[in-house]
Amino acid sequence: MTERIDAEIAEILSLTLGRPVAAGENLTRADEPKWDSLKHLEIVFAVEGAYGVAFSPEEIAAVTGAADLKAKVLSADAA
């Protein structure tokens, strides 16, 4: 389950940022110059569409990297 989430989040990041991202790699906004505010929204919206989750405004702003995206998906799954 978590492997699939890792793989799909990596795919979303890779497709959005135009660079390879390994499954499970905790890529962060600070690490990736292409991860600007627009790409950030695209990433969040893609995760929302893929998993049927909804980020609050605060959660959108608080996402710093792949790990936060995965945590949101897992927390929604647990709920």
Partner 1 sequence: MTGIPALDRLDWQATLFAPALNRLAVMRLGAPAATGPVLRVVRNHAFETLLPVLAPLMQFAGYAMSPVLGEYDDSLNLPDEPYDAALVWLDFSRYGRLDDDELGPWLAGRLAALRAHAGGPLVVANSPDGGDRATRLNAAIDDWATRTPAAAVLRLDRIAGELGARAFSEDRAAVTGTRYGDPLCLEAARTLVFDVLAPFHAAPIKALAVDLDNTLYSGVLGEDGPDGVGLTEGHAALQREIDRLASQGVLVSIVSKNEPADVQALFAARADFPLRPDRIASWRVGWGEKSDGVRAAAAQFNIAPDAFLLIDDNVGELVQVGSRHPGLRLLHAGGEAADTVRALTRYPGLPRAGQAFAGRAADLAANAERAAMAESAPDEEAYLAALKAELTFALDPVEDRVRLTELSRKTNQFNLALRRLDEVEVDRYLTQSDRCVVHIRLADRLADSGSVAVLFGRRADGVLIVDELCISCRALGRKLEDVMVTEAVRGAMRRLGADGLAFDYRIGPRNQPAVDWLAGFVGQPVTGEAGRLNVSADRVAETPRAAVSIRWTHD
Q: How many alpha carbons fall within 13 Å on the CB side of residue 6?
A: 8
Shortest CB 55 distance to partner 1, Å: 8
Q: How many CB atoms lie within 10 A of CB 44?
A: 20
CA distance 43 to 66: 10
Shortest CB 21 distance to partner 1, Å: 13
Q: How many CB atoms lie within 10 A of CB 15?
A: 13
- Binding characters for partner 1, 10-49, by CB under 8 A (x = yes): -xx--xx---------------------x--xx--xx-xx
Residues engaged in binding partner 1 (CB under 8 A): 8, 11-12, 15-16, 38, 41-42, 45-46, 48-50, 55-57, 60-61
